[in-house]
Structure 1
Amino acid sequence: MTIMDIFDFDMLRATPVSNDPFAHIVLPRFIKPSALAEVVGALPAMRARGSFPIGALSLKPAAKEMVAGLEGATFRSIIAEKFGLELDGAPVMSTLRGNSGEKDGQIHTDSVAKRVTILLYLNPGNGEAWAQQKGCLRLLRNNTDLENYAVEVPPVDGTLLVFPNGPTTFHGHKQFVGQRYVLQMNYMTTSTKAKAEMRRHHVSAFIKRLTRAA
């Protein structure tokens, strides 16, 4: 399976940027339906909470291709053009989260070290929780009211969400406890804070590899 087999780049190019409540793109089925089952089946079993650096995980080939596609030049150039950003040379940080807990989903903005946030959701679309809006990410109009949202994104079926970070890019979701796979990638700044965050990322990957081997 190749990157072009996995991602619908043509649909991404054709998807307009929305600006309510802030600039973003939502694209259902960015992972092609014909590839989704193989990609999801190539993910590692994850029982612990938290985001795991990609380098700390054992991915099967289809999942490795998925990560390579997100981190690659084609995706980067499309996102740069869509949002009018200069992303050449921007460092990339990628993590995978497999579970959501009681404390997840609180309203927040992402670290200023993260220029752009990319979320790729990898869960089956027929979950009862999603129908009840649990675990569905909301793009919010303020930092106090989870019900004051412009967009709600079910975390399913290869849906892609992209937004440049800023002081008002508030987002969160209703509590969900259980399996919730999401690949998060960020284009980072080159600031001291970003470098420190990426160092922590790599140290975490090393520690988790040691833990897994023990």
Structure 2
Amino acid sequence: MTLDLERFESTPLTVEPFPYLLVPEFVRPVARKAINNDYPRLSKPGSYPLSEVTFGPKFNEFIDDLSSLEFRKAFERKFSLDLEGRPAMITVRGRCSVKDGKIHTDSKTKIISVLIYLNSNWESAGGRLRLLRSGADLDDMILEVPPVEGTLLAF
């Protein structure tokens, strides 16, 4: 498996001011290079459903792991959720655009959001996702997520 579910299970869930989980090295180091080599080649910013992109076998294995019953059950236990019969939407992203940095909340129809960083390096001081206490102040943050390869953020 490309994912370190033991690390996921052993990482405590933060519950205030809302439940979230940050798991460094969630994607196993031995799998990362091959996953990145097989990652879809995206020429424009934005999110793309898997049906709109092509990718290689190691990235496909990664997607299979994300789609597995074991992965879903780990999330159900960690977040005390019942995800049975709930669809999962997996998208891939290349570069972000300027509009992606604006304060927003996820759709009310989303049960949980999971972000997994696969970029191999990040030199820019900007571009770090922030979990905010409110929807009004970008500096009123709970956490600034380091965009480090293999990191999982769920909320």
TM-score of the two chains, using structure 2 as the length reference: 0.95
Matched length: 155
**C-alpha distance in 1 between matches for 2:130 and 2:93:** 18
2:129 to 137, 140, 158: 137
Cα distance per residue 1:113-161 (max 9 Å; x no partner) = 1111111111123x220xx1x1111110011111111111122211101
Q: Look up the match of 1:152.
A: 144
Q: Please, what TM-score do these two structures have when normalized by structure 1? A: 0.70
Offset, 1:47: 1.0
Secondary structure class of the residue paired with 1:124: coil
Q: Distance in 1 between matches of 2:107 and 2:64?
A: 24
Measured against aligned partners, the alpha-carbon deviations of 1:39-72 in whole angstroms (never above 9, x if no partner) come to 1111121111211111111110111111111111
Q: Could you say which structure has the higher helix fraction?
A: 1
> Which runs of no fewer than 5 residues in structure 1 stay unpaired?
164-214
The aligned residue for residue 76 of structure 1 is 72
Q: How many angstroms apart in 2 are the aligned matches of 1:91 and 1:51?
A: 18
- Root mean square deviation, CA, Å: 1.1
* Aligned partner letter, 1:128: E
Aligned to 1:39: 35
CA distance in 1, matches of 2:82, 2:15: 19
The question of 1:128 aligning with 2:123 is answered yes
Larger Rg: 1
SS at the partner of 2:77? Answer: helix
In the alignment, the residues of structure 2 paired with residue 93 and residue 35 of structure 1 have an alpha-carbon distance, to the nearest angstrom, of 22
The answer to whether the aligner puts 1:161 opposite 2:135 as a matched pair is no
- Give the gaps of 5 or more residues in structure 2: none
1:23 aligns with: 19
